[in-house]
A and B are shown apart, each in its own frame.
Chain A
């Protein structure tokens, strides 16, 4: 089983739609959680950290459910520029490892 699992998509949605991505992680000792965005043939860029209380940044809302080991990202009012791959990322606590573990990513295509 992969440490971080995501639905690969692609999610094809019209402009203005609301879309939600989900992610599950296997290690309950995970400490930090993030969503990164990666455009085609570019490097990943931090979109937002994910906190237990949930957090919002403009049109983006992230939620964390530690009991279910589940992370989500909600994008409202999708724009063409939101088309990208969204990577779910966790950092483990138990080994003291300070390296990020990535899911394989979910591809989003927003259509006009």
Chain B
């Protein structure tokens, strides 16, 4: 049973560029949440997708957008990258239909460096 997978593992971009990160949820899970974790901080909620729609959003600008596909996988897009976007981006999956939405399982993350 595959857990949550994310790609790529590492990414280096320059300011102003755009980036797309990918996530496949754990088998049987239908909800994907994205988090940003800066160095020395806890993860901060970006947004959550269920049934291919953004259901909730944290305090992040519109430069951060996402998508969920029919197979429940998800993408996180960040436009006009800033130095401050450098962080570990974590994807977490959970099951709304299973009634255990609060229990979220994290992928290994994508470490984004913006130069």
B58-A99 in contact (CB<8A)? yes
**A34 CB contacts on chain B under 8 angstroms:** 102
**A99 CB contacts on chain B under 8 angstroms:** 33, 45, 48, 56, 58
Binds B, one of A12-20, A51-59, A69-77, A101-109: A101-109
A contacts, CB < 8 Å to B: 4, 31-32, 34, 41-46, 49, 87, 91, 97-105
**B41 CB contacts on chain A under 8 angstroms:** 104-105
**A103 CB contacts on chain B under 8 angstroms:** 42
Interface string of B50-82 (1 = CB under 8 A from A): 000001101000000000000000000000000
**A32 CB contacts on chain B under 8 angstroms:** 102
A91-B102, A98-B56 given; A43·B108 CB < 8 A? yes
B contacts, CB < 8 Å to A: 31, 33, 35, 40-45, 48, 55-56, 58, 88, 90, 92, 94, 96, 101-109, 111
User: Shortest Cβ distance from B85 into chain A, in angstroms?
Assistant: 18
Interface hub of A32, A49, A100, A102 (most chain B Cβ within 10 A) = A100
**B103 CB contacts on chain A under 8 angstroms:** 46, 49
